[in-house]
Amino acid sequence: MRYLLIAGLMCAMAAPLAMARAIPDPNQKHAPGNEAPQKPISQAGYSTPVNYQLQCAGCHLGDGTGSRANDTPKMKGFVGNFLKVEGGREFLVRVPGMSQSALNNAQLADLINWMMRKDGIAGSSAPDDYKPYTEEEVAKIRSVTLLNLPDTRAGLIKQMREKGITIDDGMDDAY
């Protein structure tokens, strides 16, 4: 038992030395081509589809199908339904993934407008009378924090059901 204790103590004492290799060298130079600091996404000038990939696809997947296993609703063919109920337009901007994204207000408006296209993620769920978001509208809505995502979303889904909208968001009545 004593040898086991001594061996454990020696390992614990050696660990900091082994971990020391992981500490970066503060004098290390950038790799060739990476000398300039990276621009923030809000200033990088990426296209709207690239902004979707950077800000949304990690959870909602590249085509908007979402992931029930990760508690991420499907947007494809469904997200436009939020614009058909009271409070849904604001909800789409206030959802934490949108309101807290690295995008500026103009980019966020462009992203939502891009998603709402009939040939885009919203597909046929987009309302026929869709009014595009503006930078000013997004700035105003975004400044108000969404305090209870599950209850807010559940209320919007309830309104959709009352209007006869089929709930096909991949969440199996989770909300």
Q: Note the helical H segments in 85-147.
A: 88-94, 96-99, 105-115, 135-142
User: Is 77 or 41 the better-scoring residue by pLDDT?
Assistant: 77
Q: What are phi and psi of 12, to 5 degrees?
A: -65, -35
**Lowest-confidence region among 23-32, 42-51, 73-82:** 23-32
User: Is 10 or 84 the better-scoring residue by pLDDT?
Assistant: 84
Average model confidence (pLDDT) across the chain: 87
Q: How far apart are CA 8 and CA 63, in angstroms?
A: 51
The CA radius of gyration of the chain, in Å to the nearest whole number, is 23
Q: Please tell me the predicted confidence (pLDDT) of residue 19.
A: 56
Q: Please tell me the predicted confidence (pLDDT) of residue 152.
A: 95
Domain ranges of the chain: 47-175
pLDDT tens for 75-116 read 999 999 999 999 999 999 999 989 999 999 999 999 999 999
pLDDT band at 34, cuts 50/70/90?
A: confident
pTM score of the predicted model: 0.76
Q: Please tell me the predicted confidence (pLDDT) of residue 175.
A: 44
What CATH number has the domain spanning 47-175? 1.10.760.10
Burial class (CB in 10 A: 0-12, 13-18, 19+), 11: exposed
User: Is 11 or 139 the better-scoring residue by pLDDT?
Assistant: 139
Residue 41 parent element (H or E): helix 41-44
